[in-house]
Structure 1
Amino acid sequence: MTALAVALAVFVGISLGLLGGGGSILTVPLLAYVAGLEPKPAIATSLLVVGVTSAVGAITHARAGRVRWRVAGVFGAAAMAGAYTGGRLAKFVPGSVLLIGFAVIMIAAAVAMLRGRKDVSDESSGPLPIAKILVQGAAVGLISGLVGAGGGFLLVPALALLGGLPMPVAVGTSLVVISMQSFAGFAGHLAGESIDWKLAGMVTAAAVVGSVIGGLLTSYVQPATLRKAFGWFVLAMAAVVLAQEANIWIGIAVAIVAAIAGTMAFMCAHYARCPLRKVLIDPGAIPRRVPLGNR
């Protein structure tokens, strides 16, 4: 199973290279269900893998000028404090509860991927909202430290809105923040967890190789299409985790909802007469009732 885990880690790295921070959401399920680690060591090891892989990805963005170091420093410092605290607190929470929490984060990440990202055209010239950045950075870091997720789907919108960064710069800056908070969260877990360093090293190396491959593939793949496909896959994986850790019927319910939503999305993408399109895209097309007195 170790060989399979290493092979799949390449896929996680490719996803990370193509999508920014989103691909790291599969690292914990990979380590827990394929490599066979207990939940807490899987979360700790995931933070190491995500931290190293994000740092490698950030180098490319930094060379291209897509990192705002001041924003990364402020947001990253708060995220590191939150992640270290989350890592220390994780030892008081049952492993199954952490994985259920991670499944909830997976659902949120999948929804964010399916909705897509809104670009920010111009970089804000006003002062940074330091207080908001510190609060949101600490909150994202706390979640990351607890459940082992990189939190890219939370960081990118936050950096774009609070930091006023264009989307490509927000992605590059988020990788710096993800690496900072992941290492801090990993340090918080080290005191209470035993790490399989050999497995961690192999999975990390495979993910780094995958991220390089993913970076090379960006010009050949439509990011929006890939992000939506990956979002559906993450939603399916969340159903599996919930079925394993919470209740099989909860997992089945999530899977059914995902299947229905996926079918509706497919129908609306390929057929012009999709009633859902009128509701979601053109609400004004819905006929409204006119009071009798106004007719």
Structure 2
Amino acid sequence: MQLTYIISGFGVGLLVGMTGVGGGSLMTPLLTLLFGVSPSVAVGTDLAFASITKAAGTFTHRLRGTVRWDIVRHLCFGALPAAVATTLALKQFGALDKEIGQIIRYSIAGSVMLTVVALLFKGKMLAWVNAKPGRQLQGRSLAAATIVSGAVLGVLVTVSSIGAGAIGATLLVMLYPRLSAAEVAGTDIAYAVPLTAIAAFGHWWLGSINWGLLAMLLIGSLPGITLGSWVAKSVPEGFLRALLATTLTLVAAKLIY
């Protein structure tokens, strides 16, 4: 079983490296559906996994100067309190309770479908924003919208471990269309580090992290991400996005039914 976890970690890492989609969209459903891990433990373990891998990515982006720390700050103003409040709510209602586990399962499915929408329509949404420059938020309105977006992502990530990747990047593109692709990626990863760390700590407090499983996933995923990043340019992006969107749609359907 340990070898299976390592191979799964490698496969998810490979896809993350090739597509840039957050591992939670793939890892959490995989643990739930393929290995029968309870939804709450799958979420908690994936959050710990994400906090470690995203910290390494943030270090690289910081060296390259591709992190907008002002945006990170506003996102964290919303995301971190939301993560703490959501953790307390899970504690209150029983994160390991079977009925709450079913709600978390549905939340994972919903977050997966939001990721699919982000994958398929990100370009069209950006085109719409750029076509209406007069409607783009500025100043305090933009800061407030960023904080609210952070709060929404904080709840999504804490409940389902999904949202800090494709969904977060899409919101950044909508709110800040002038950011370069590298700045979107760097900023999205940077704010996700404290968010996933706090959410992971909360799940550790709730007793919903499998540390042995986490170690096996990390052993497989780190070389997978490296290899995926190397081969990403040789595979058509449109094909990858379509394949990933189809796979995630099927996963969401399986989670619900």
Q: Return the alpha-carbon distance in structure 1 between the equivalents of residues 80 and 192 of structure 2.
A: 9
CA-based RMSD of the aligned residues comes to 2.4
Q: Which residue of 2 aligns with 1:183?
A: 197
Give the one of 204, 221, 238 matched to 1:224. Answer: 238
| Secondary structure at 2:234 match in 1 | coil
Q: Which residue of 1 aligns with 2:56?
A: 56
Q: Which residue of 2 aligns with 1:44?
A: 44
Give the one of 149, 154, 162 matched to 1:149. Answer: 162
Q: Return the alpha-carbon distance in structure 2 between the equivalents of residues 180 and 206 of structure 1.
A: 23
Q: Return the alpha-carbon distance in structure 2 between the equivalents of residues 79 and 21 of structure 1.
A: 20
1:112-127 correspondence to structure 2 within 5 Å: 112-117=118-123, 118=126, 127=139
Q: Which residue of 1 aligns with 2:150?
A: 137
Give the one of 189, 199, 213 matched to 1:199. Answer: 213
* The structure with more helix, counted as a fraction of residues: 2
2:169/2:184 contact within 8 Å kept? yes
Deviation for aligned residue 1:166 = 2.5
AA partner of residue 107 (structure 1): M
Deviation for aligned residue 1:156 = 1.0
Query: Identity over aligned residues, as a percent?
Result: 25
* Count of residues in correspondence between the two structures: 241
Q: Which residue of 2 aligns with 1:69?
A: 69
* 1:160-198 C-alpha deviation (Å, 9 max, x unpaired): 232442333112211112222111111122221143212
Q: Any runs of at least 4 consecutive aligned residues in structure 1 with deviations exceeding 6 A, and if so which?
A: none
Deviation for aligned residue 1:132 = 1.4
1:49/1:207 contact within 8 Å kept? no
Give the one of 96, 112, 116 matched to 1:110. Answer: 116
Q: Which residue of 2 aligns with 1:9?
A: 9
List alignment gaps of at least 5 residues for structure 2: 131-135
* 1:255-286 C-alpha deviation (Å, 9 max, x unpaired): xxxxxxxxxxxxxxxxxxxxxxxxxxxxxxxx
Q: Work out which of the two has the higher radius of gyration on C-alpha atoms and give 1 or 2.
A: 1
Normalization by structure 1: what TM-score? Answer: 0.73
Q: Which residue of 2 aligns with 1:95?
A: 101
Q: Return the alpha-carbon distance in structure 2 between the equivalents of residues 72 and 17 of structure 1.
A: 23
1:17/1:213 contact within 8 Å kept? yes
Deviation for aligned residue 1:140 = 0.9
2:164/2:188 contact within 8 Å kept? no
Q: 1:238 to 1:25 in 2, by over 3 A?
A: same
Q: Which residue of 2 aligns with 1:86?
A: 86
AA partner of residue 52 (structure 1): I
Q: Which residue of 1 aligns with 2:133?
A: none
1:90/1:189 contact within 8 Å kept? no
Q: Return the alpha-carbon distance in structure 2 between the equivalents of residues 161 and 41 of structure 1.
A: 32
Q: Return the alpha-carbon distance in structure 2 between the equivalents of residues 173 and 100 of structure 1.
A: 28
* 1:52-106 C-alpha deviation (Å, 9 max, x unpaired): 2222233333333322122122213421222232233234261011111111111
List alignment gaps of at least 5 residues for structure 1: 244-295
Q: 1:16 to 1:218 in 2, by over 3 A?
A: same
